Amino acid sequence: SGPAARELFAEGLLQFLRPAVRQLDHHVHSVRESQVELREHIDSLATELCRINEDQKVALDLDPYVKKLLNARRRVVLVNNILQNAQERLRRLNHSVAKETVRRRAMLEAGGY
């Protein structure tokens, strides 16, 4: 009990959280990469649909499909921005956890606990 027990508990908690934060950061990064790739594919498909529409001798109205693709692209960009903000918060949390771990370790070593 006392300060040493609290410090030990805090150190254990920080050690427990660090891998989870790193894993979550890694997953967010992977999803963001997938979102960028999806956005590029949507752009490519929209461009191809426009080209096909222009080259057709028979009037095919592909504009609604292009609009749907562009709407999907907009949503992908929004999700990517949300993920980017979440990843930045995770990085700051990971940095804070690392800083707090170093601070607590120094306090434990200096206090002789």
Considering the domain architecture, whether residues 78 and 102 belong to the same structural domain is answered as: yes
How many structural domains does the chain have?
A: 2
Q: What is the pLDDT of residue 112?
A: 55
Considering the domain architecture, whether residues 50 and 65 belong to the same structural domain is answered as: no
Mean pLDDT for the stretch of residues 37-44? 90
Considering the domain architecture, whether residues 92 and 54 belong to the same structural domain is answered as: no
Which residue in this structure is represented by tokens 């990064």?
29
Mean pLDDT for the stretch of residues 65-69? 86
Considering the domain architecture, whether residues 36 and 87 belong to the same structural domain is answered as: no
Mean pLDDT for the stretch of residues 55-63? 72
Percent of the chain at pLDDT exceeding 70: 91
pLDDT at 107 > cutoff 70: yes
Q: H or E element: which one contains 17?
A: helix 3-55
Considering the domain architecture, whether residues 86 and 48 belong to the same structural domain is answered as: no
Which residue in this structure is represented by tokens 């930045």?
88
Dig out the tokens for 106 from the structure: 């120094």
Confidence bin at 37 (pLDDT 50/70/90): very high
Considering the domain architecture, whether residues 50 and 30 belong to the same structural domain is answered as: yes
Considering the domain architecture, whether residues 7 and 48 belong to the same structural domain is answered as: yes
Phi, psi values for residue 110, rounded to 5°: -70, -35
pLDDT at 113 > cutoff 60: no
Considering the domain architecture, whether residues 41 and 75 belong to the same structural domain is answered as: no
Considering the domain architecture, whether residues 6 and 53 belong to the same structural domain is answered as: yes
Considering the domain architecture, whether residues 8 and 29 belong to the same structural domain is answered as: yes
What is the overall mean pLDDT for the chain?
A: 83
Torsion sign, CA atoms 26, 29, 86, 75: negative
Considering the domain architecture, whether residues 54 and 9 belong to the same structural domain is answered as: yes
Which residue in this structure is represented by tokens 């609009």?
67
65 is in which domain, residue-wise? Answer: 60-112
pLDDT at 11 > cutoff 80: no
Mean pLDDT for the stretch of residues 86-109? 83
